[in-house]
Structure 1
Amino acid sequence: MTHFTLSGLYIYPVKSLAGINAARWQVTKTGLQHDRKWMLIDNDGQFLSQRQHPRMALIKTALSDKHLTLSAPGMDNLMLPLMPVDGEIISSTIWRDRCDALRVSEQADRWLSRFLNADCQLVYQPDNAIRQVDPDYAHATDQVSFADGFPFLIISENSLASLNHEMQLDLPMARFRPNLVISGCPGYAEDSWREIRIGAIDFRLTKPCSRCAMPTIDPETAQTGKEPLTTLNRVRKWENQVYFGQNALHDQCGVLAVGDIVQIKLTGPNQPPI
């Protein structure tokens, strides 16, 4: 049995806003605690992301025991309750999923709309609003927050090193918005992993992550370039999609910490098969 190490742990409290680099974090039924429990929607209830609004990358997030704090250039910090309880329940849409969501506050809507120069609302996923994972890839009991489709995204350090070598660049891991980063394994080793254990938590890697234009957005400037999609189209393309990283589901709740041992329990053919 081969052992590697968890070297990075990232939480994104608000979908498509900047994330938090943590050393240790709780895992709940929907993934990392507070990960994508908040989301921005437009007036039709459709989720918003950096794909339409690159400036979302400039909004930083911070968590304390009682608050979520948002900060952005030229704006006063916005402090919000960590567990909103009051507010209107509205219907929101993430891709093909319809989800109940709790509207957070008019103050939050004004703050975000002003910075993005676009009408939007901030919503929260209540604990009783269950969003199931695509049954083609998951168990009936698997749940997810406002993430695109899966509770976790796993990328190895050497996969990024291999991609950077192909590009002759040094893009940071933040471009790819993983939850879990693994060190010590060869580049793209995660393509063949099917079941792994990190610390005391088991994971199923059921689907490779197809990539959109978001990694082309510099998280520090919100400027858009051509990489890494140009190179991914050359070296990681399969059936008209490009892939980088693996989506994952977890079998237990508990705690993850940087430095945890990663055990590879089951492997299979590379996904994607390239």
Structure 2
Amino acid sequence: MVGAMRLTAVHVHPVKSLGGVAVDRATVEPWGLRHDRRWLVLHPDGGVLTARTEHRMLGVTAAPAPGGITLTGCDGGTLTVPEPTDGVPVPAGMSRLDTVRLAGDDAHHWLSGQLRRPVRLGWLDDPRRRPVSADHGGRPGDPLNLSDAGPLLLTTLPSLRRLDEWIVEGAAERGEPAPAALPMARFRPTVVVDGPVEPFAEDGWRTVRIGAVDFRFAERCDRCQLTLIDPVTFTTGREPIRTLARHRRHDGRTWFGVRLIPLGTGEIGIGDEVDAG
């Protein structure tokens, strides 16, 4: 086992593809962190809208609120949306999930105004209805929230530091000025770990313990164009995919971080000791 590591950040993104919030502590449930990725934004026809195509989604923040979520828009306006426990079921437009429940009309109207296009807001009432795919390391009975593939995404600061070094080296080779360090937020992790480990050591971990909660490795995380979008300016660049493609390209894809599946439940928090092996 690898010791002397600590949990340095915990992030909850209540709405898929919207901005999330950093928290000091979170409760681990079988399908992921409590409040994480239980909501999603839908086109009027039922398809899922993500920040890959609508970059402004990254400028709208969702935070947990008692019995629901609070949305904060690009203009600073806010709206609290209760969980639509009796909401109308509509097609989810996601793999391994038939329906989600629609929020109220005020949520649709407010969010449509923020994103400047007609949308609807949906909520997953019971994550046990959506399994983790076997293609992504799932076993029978593993439930999943609205994440693409796994309940938790773990990244490490040593890996990010090495990636930043590679990006700077590449810029120097091209005769370009050194860019600013890449924020971990580009990768939208749920948990971030730091400690005396080699960069990308997480690729080889098969078990992880954070505090008193155990997890198993599901798979490495392949990275998509969402990482190319600056969450502040909404502009798209070439990093980190350009550099990952040079140093971390395998099987035709680029990799950063690992997906984990909880083996139990409990609370984790910043400063918790992390063991892996």
Q: Does the pair score TM above 0.5?
A: yes
CA shift for structure 1 position 128: 6.8
Q: What do the CA deviations read for 1:31-89 (whole angstroms, capped 9, x no partner)?
A: 100100000011232211110100000001222334411111236311111x3322101
1:248 and 2:260 correspond: yes
CA contact (8 A) 1:5 1:260 kept: yes
Which residue of the partner structure matches residue 79 of structure 2? 78
Within 5 A, what are the aligned runs for 1:139-158? 139-158=139-158
Within 5 A, what are the aligned runs for 1:1-274? 1-3=1-3, 4-74=5-75, 76-81=77-82, 83-94=83-94, 96-127=95-126, 130-136=129-135, 137-168=137-168, 169=179, 170-184=181-195, 185-264=197-276, 266=277
Moved segments of 4+, more than 4 Å: none
Aligned AA for 2:40? M
Structure 1 unaligned blocks of 5 or more: 267-274
CA contact (8 A) 2:150 2:218 kept: no
Aligned AA for 1:21? A
Q: Which moved more, 1:170-179 or 1:111-120?
A: 111-120
* % identity of equivalent residues: 34
Q: Structure 1 149/128 Cα, relative in aligned 2: closer, same or farther at 3 Å?
A: closer
Q: Structure 1 262/128 Cα, relative in aligned 2: closer, same or farther at 3 Å?
A: closer
Aligned AA for 2:153? L
Structure whose residues are more often helix by fraction: 2
Q: Structure 1 199/49 Cα, relative in aligned 2: closer, same or farther at 3 Å?
A: same
Structure 2 unaligned blocks of 5 or more: 169-178
Q: Structure 1 66/87 Cα, relative in aligned 2: closer, same or farther at 3 Å?
A: closer
Aligned residue pairs: how many?
263
What is the TM-score of this pair, normalised by structure 1? Answer: 0.92
What is the TM-score of this pair, normalised by structure 2? Answer: 0.91
Question: Equivalent residue of 2:111, what SS?
Answer: helix
Q: Structure 1 75/19 Cα, relative in aligned 2: closer, same or farther at 3 Å?
A: closer
User: How far apart, CA to CA, are the structure 2 residues paired with 1:104 and 1:90?
Assistant: 11
Q: Structure 1 208/218 Cα, relative in aligned 2: closer, same or farther at 3 Å?
A: same
